[in-house]
Amino acid sequence: MSTVRRLGSPRARLSFLNRAGEAVSELRGAGRALFILFAGMLVVSTLALLFMLESSIVVPSPSRGGTLTEGIVGTPRFINPVLAISDADRDLTALIYSGLLRATPEGEYVPDLAQEYSVSEDGLIYTALLREGIVFHDGTPVTAEDIVFTVHKAQAAAIKSPLRANWDSVTVEAPDARTVRFTLPAPYAPFIENLTLGILPAHLWEGVAKEEFPFSELNTDPVGSGPYKVESIARSQGGIPSVYTLRANDSYALGEPYLSRLRLNFYQNEAALAKALKDKEVESGSGLSQAGVEGLKEAPKTTSLNRVFGVFFNQNQSEVLRNKTVREALSLAIDRQLLVEEVLGGFGTPLVGPVPPSLLHTPVPTRTEDPVAEAQQMLLDAGWRLEGTALVRGEDDEIEQLSFSLSTGNVPELRRAAEYVRDVWGRMGAQVEVHIYEAGDLSQNVIRPRKYDALLFGEVIGRELDLYAFWHSSQRNDPGLNIALYANVTADAALETMRQTQDDARRLELYQEFLGEIETDIPAVFLYAPDFVYSVPNDLNGITLGLVETPSDRFLSITQWHREVDYVWPVFASGRAR
């Protein structure tokens, strides 16, 4: 041991090096050359091994920088969380504003402007505590009074906010600068989604009269507290915004986004957006159909939209549709998987119930080899008969024909779906006349007065899965959304109780009870949930689509999107994760 100690001492090491140096100096000619060669190989091999070792250990980590240029269909008018009505409005609102809470792609909620929040045991009072140091894009602090101001604007009848019904009868108050309290008239479990409402800066908006609210320049040159702030706006000769350039907000409550800039270009329709993608004018675009993605080199990202499309029966207007066997046969005849393939190009999920698959998965039963023939036989067994290709029943002056009209909107997807089900039901023996309406006409003159036999339409289901507005009997008339005019006491009770309970397990039991009633009564033929299709460049990482209620939900993970990558040791990568 003493020998080892002596060799390890500084004097011994110096002596050893001196002797090694003398030995090298004594080498001559080929000997010295070989020594230098072997020494060089040793150095190179050592460096190579170190490089290989580091390469096997280091991991990629997101880095800040880079720009994404995205195309959006439409022109933003109300970049304002209280007024946003179009997809273009909501897209920019989602990027520029932030709320007390932020929804996640996984369907959860995380504190945003709020540091924390609580719900009273009776479910009537929601209290949020704001983070310290949070500011709007202009550097002004965000206070509880800004939240109160924003909610009051959403509640104001003169402003006509599309969110007004969500805040009906809710009292909001600010006990101090960092605390905001919401008091509900009755327990309402889905209320938590309201806390994602983007917050307006009161110091900029308080001088704007209610009558002038929709016309303020702040609607197109917005100031919020969200992940991105407006850097510049390019406008057409008519003053209409054509390009927004957004810069990452380094003061954002949840951390500065990795992408330094977003450049948003606007187009009149999907065809123009698809062309811009193919011409490399933009790098990304959403809401594309099968035709829109044809010819793109990069496969788009897809996820199921929180929407339900189906044929809703108005039994008050069509006598033949009051027959439950008829409704059952009409549902049985449709091969939903084939419909998704032929109508949507495969970008969708077949449905047999009123809940989108992203919220509650209901498997579609395996179909028979010929569902049309099976459905026809069901009706023949029930007393219908074929006269030529038409199903009828009764005798002489009492003959009833299986015929009705099918109304829908003048949208390519809806027209194709209506023609598909018409042809299928025609082969079964039903005579179906398709009526196509422009969006405004359909809403005002068909849906609101409930003037249709059957309606092929879609319902946007919130992430909290509140089906009350769509199926409770109190919502059968306008402005309710119960377009099947469905009335069932058991279903009503389940829907009412679901709204009041916070217990997830109990809510699921109630959903199953409600779904059982729908399955028994067949008030509609559910068809599909369309996919949300998003074309993005291959080098854009960190995207998580998850639950998409509206197209703007693609930005829920925007702070994690990145194009720049550093390679670091794992200990440093974990320190940079958010």
Domain residue spans in the chain?
A: 67-300+536-576, 307-531
pLDDT in tens, 449-499: 999 999 999 999 988 888 999 999 999 999 899 999 999 999 999 999 999
Strands 125-130 and 403-409: unpaired
Task: Say which residues have a Cβ less than 8 Å from residue 166's Cβ, sequence separation at least 6.
Answer: 154, 194
Please report the pLDDT score of residue 369 as a whole number.
Answer: 83
Q: Do domains 67-300+536-576 and 307-531 have the same CATH topology?
A: no
DSSP one-letter string for 428-449: HT-EEEEEEE-HHHIIIIIITT
CA–CA dist 92, 281 (Å, integer): 20
Find where tokens 């007390």 sit: 100
At residue 396 the predicted structure's pLDDT band, cuts being 50, 70 and 90, is: confident
pLDDT over 60 at 575, yes or no: no
Query: Average pLDDT over the chain, rounded to whole?
Result: 90
Cβ 67 vs Cβ 262: under 8 Å = yes
- CATH number for the domain running over 67-300+536-576: 3.40.190.10
pLDDT over 70 at 527, yes or no: yes
- What percent of the chain shows pLDDT beyond 90? 76
Please report the pLDDT score of residue 8 as a whole number.
Answer: 44
The CATH superfamily holding the domain 307-531 is Dipeptide-binding Protein; Domain 3 (3.10.105.10)
DSSP one-letter string for 96-139: H---SEEE-TTS-EEESSEEEEEE-TTS-EEEEEEPTT-B-TTS
At residue 3 the predicted structure's pLDDT band, cuts being 50, 70 and 90, is: very low
Task: Say which residues have a Cβ less than 8 Å from residue 490's Cβ, sequence separation at least 6.
Answer: 513, 517
* Cβ contacts of 137-143, under 8 Å, gap ≥ 24: 137/96, 137/223, 137/224, 137/225, 137/229, 137/230, 137/249, 137/251, 138/201, 138/204, 138/223, 140/201, 140/203, 142/113, 142/199, 142/201, 142/225, 143/174, 143/177, 143/178
Please report the pLDDT score of residue 390 as a whole number.
Answer: 96
Lowest-pLDDT range of 32-46, 310-324, 558-572: 32-46
Please report the pLDDT score of residue 176 as a whole number.
Answer: 96
- The type of residue at 415 is R
- The helix/strand/coil state of 479 is coil
pLDDT in tens, 421-461: 999 999 999 999 999 999 899 999 999 999 999 999 999 99
The DSSP output letter for 290 is H
CA–CA dist 338, 414 (Å, integer): 15
Average of pLDDT values for 536-548? 93
At residue 503 the predicted structure's pLDDT band, cuts being 50, 70 and 90, is: confident
CA–CA dist 421, 311 (Å, integer): 9
CA–CA dist 337, 332 (Å, integer): 13
- Number of neighbouring beta carbons within 10 Å of residue 169: 9
CA–CA dist 338, 361 (Å, integer): 19
CA–CA dist 344, 530 (Å, integer): 8
